[in-house]
């Protein structure tokens, strides 16, 4: 069983679409609607192979999440793919030391390629759980 992908985004439709797409391609997606919820999951022991991070969210946004993640030595090494509609998402992703970046609306194939740099899909005949 592979590690899950953590998707952090405040738009339920985006999270659902990415989650279904990843599941179809053999990846388990765990979701959080903001940075603080995601940090809670990570601090409870969740270890995703990669984090897909929106930048603009109410509550704890992607910038604050990434700062907290990098400050926590147990979490700092988990790679992050920034996936944002922010006009400066590319430079922001560089400042955040992201492993990759995509603009919204998200090209699912491109997202899958970035995720697969860090995650192996589960074997087709294995059951997750």
Contact 128, 1 (CB under 8 A): yes
- Position 107 scores a pLDDT of 87
Report if residue 54 sits inside a domain. yes
Report if residue 124 sits inside a domain. no
Per-residue pLDDT in tens (0 to 9) along the chain, 129 residues: 468 999 999 998 889 999 999 999 999 999 999 999 999 999 999 999 999 999 999 999 999 999 999 999 999 999 999 998 877 878 889 999 999 999 888 789 999 999 999 998 776 654 444
- Position 104 scores a pLDDT of 84
Q: How many domains does the chain have?
A: 1
- Position 124 scores a pLDDT of 60
Report if residue 42 sits inside a domain. yes
Report if residue 128 sits inside a domain. no
3-class SS string, the chain: CCCCEEEECCCHHHHHHHHHHHHHCCCCEEEECCHHHHHHHHHCCCCCCEEEECCCCCCCCHHHHHHHHHHCCCCCCCCEEEEECCCCHHHHHHHCCCCEEEECCCCHHHHHHHHHCCCCCCCCCCCCC
CATH of the domain at 88: 3.40.50.2300
- Position 129 scores a pLDDT of 43
Report if residue 94 sits inside a domain. yes
Q: Which domain holds residue 17?
A: 5-116
Cα(75)–Cα(111) distance, integer angstroms: 22
Q: Which residue has the tokens 């970035």?
A: 114
């Amino acid at each position: 069983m592979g590690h899950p992908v953590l998707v952090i985004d405040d738009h339920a439709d985006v999270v659902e679409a990415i989650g279904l797409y990843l599941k179809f391609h053999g990846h388990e997606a765990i979701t959080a609607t903001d940075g603080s919820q995601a940090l809670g999951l990570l601090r409870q022991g969740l270890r995703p192979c990669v984090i897909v991070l929106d930048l603009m969210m109410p509550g704890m946004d992607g910038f604050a999440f990434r700062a907290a993640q990098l400050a926590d030595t147990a979490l700092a090494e988990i790679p992050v793919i920034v996936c944002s509609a922010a006009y400066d998402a590319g430079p922001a992703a560089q400042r955040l030391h992201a492993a990759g970046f995509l603009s919204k609306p998200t090209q699912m194939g491109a997202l899958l390629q970035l995720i697969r740099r860090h995650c192996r899909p589960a074997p087709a005949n294995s059951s997750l759980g």
